[in-house]
Every structure is written in C-alpha cells, then in structure tokens.
C-alpha cells in the first residue's frame, strides 16, 4: 500500500427506506436500558455526595440540622 491516497467521492447510497426505519427503531429501543443505567449512576453519585456532605459535616463540626430543610410554620 502506498502513502499517496487519492480522494474518494461517494455519489449515491441506495438504502431502502424501511431498512432505515428499522435501524432507528432498534436504536430507540437500545437507548431505553442505557437511559436507565445512566439514571441509576446519577442517583448513586448524588446519594453518595449528599451522604458524604451530611456525615462529613458532622465530623467537621458543622451543624447538620441547618442543612436539612424543615416545613414552614402554618
């Protein structure tokens, strides 16, 4: 193989419409478990950060009760 590459131009791709529709449906179905995994990861990371913030605040001498929201008096 030589190092002198010649440019290539693609002029036409013949893919049936329903084949493209089938591919897009497969991608949509495959995205559902991916979104669930990402949501679980975000939830775990956020939970860990909140837990470390609340427990870590006690170790540093911060009053954690001020961080927890309370109901307003009615």
**pLDDT (tens digit per residue) in 3-49:** 678 888 988 889 999 999 999 999 999 999 999 999 999 999 888 87
DSSP annotation of 67 reads T
Measured between alpha carbons, how far is 12 from 30 in angstroms, rounded to an integer?
29
Residue 61 has pLDDT above 80, yes or no: no
- CB-based contacts of 46, cutoff 8 Å, min separation 6: none
pTM (2 decimals)? Answer: 0.52
Residue whose pair of structure tokens reads 């495959």 in the numeric block: 30
Instruction: Determine the length of the chain.
Output: 74
């Amino acid at each position: 193989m030589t190092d002198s590459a010649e440019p290539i131009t693609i002029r036409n791709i013949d893919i049936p419409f329903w084949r493209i529709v089938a591919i897009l449906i497969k991608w949509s179905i495959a995205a559902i478990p991916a979104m669930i995994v990402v949501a679980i990861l975000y939830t775990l990371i956020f939970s860990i950060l909140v837990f470390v913030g609340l427990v870590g605040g006690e170790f540093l001498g911060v009053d954690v009760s001020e961080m927890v929201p309370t109901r307003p008096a009615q």
